[in-house]
Amino acid sequence: MLSVRSRAYCIEDRLACLAVFDSNVPHFFALQERPDYIEFLASEVLERPYLVVQDGKEIIGCGGLKVIAEKKTAFLSWGMVACKYHGKGVGRFLAEARLDLAKTIPEVEAVTLNTSQHTRGFYEKFGFVSTSVTPDGYAPGLDRWDMILKLK
Q: Does domain 4-150 have CATH number 3.10.105.10?
A: no
| Residue 104 CB neighbour total at 10 angstroms | 7
The single-letter code of the amino acid at 119 is T
Beta-carbon contacts of residue 138 (< 8 Å; ≥ 6 apart):
29, 30, 33, 116, 144
pLDDT tens-digit readout, 47-67: 568 999 999 999 999 999 999
In this prediction, residue 152 carries a pLDDT of 82
147, HSE (Cβ side, Cα atoms, 13 Å): 23
pLDDT tens-digit readout, 16-46: 999 999 999 999 999 999 999 999 998 755 5
Q: Indicate the pLDDT class of residue 1, thresholds 50, 70 and 90.
A: confident
- Helix (H) or strand (E) holding 120, with range, is helix 120-124
Looking at the predicted structure, is the pLDDT value of residue 92 above 80?
A: yes
Q: What is the 8-class DSSP label of residue 12? A: G
In this prediction, residue 44 carries a pLDDT of 59
pLDDT over 70, % of the chain? 97
What pTM value is reported for the model? 0.91
Q: What is the 8-class DSSP label of residue 48? A: S
pLDDT over 90, % of the chain? 89
Interatomic CA distance for residues 62 and 64, integer angstroms: 7
pLDDT tens-digit readout, 103-124: 999 999 999 999 999 999 999 9
What mean pLDDT comes out for the span 81-90? 96
Q: What is the 8-class DSSP label of residue 29? A: S
Domain locations along the chain: 4-150
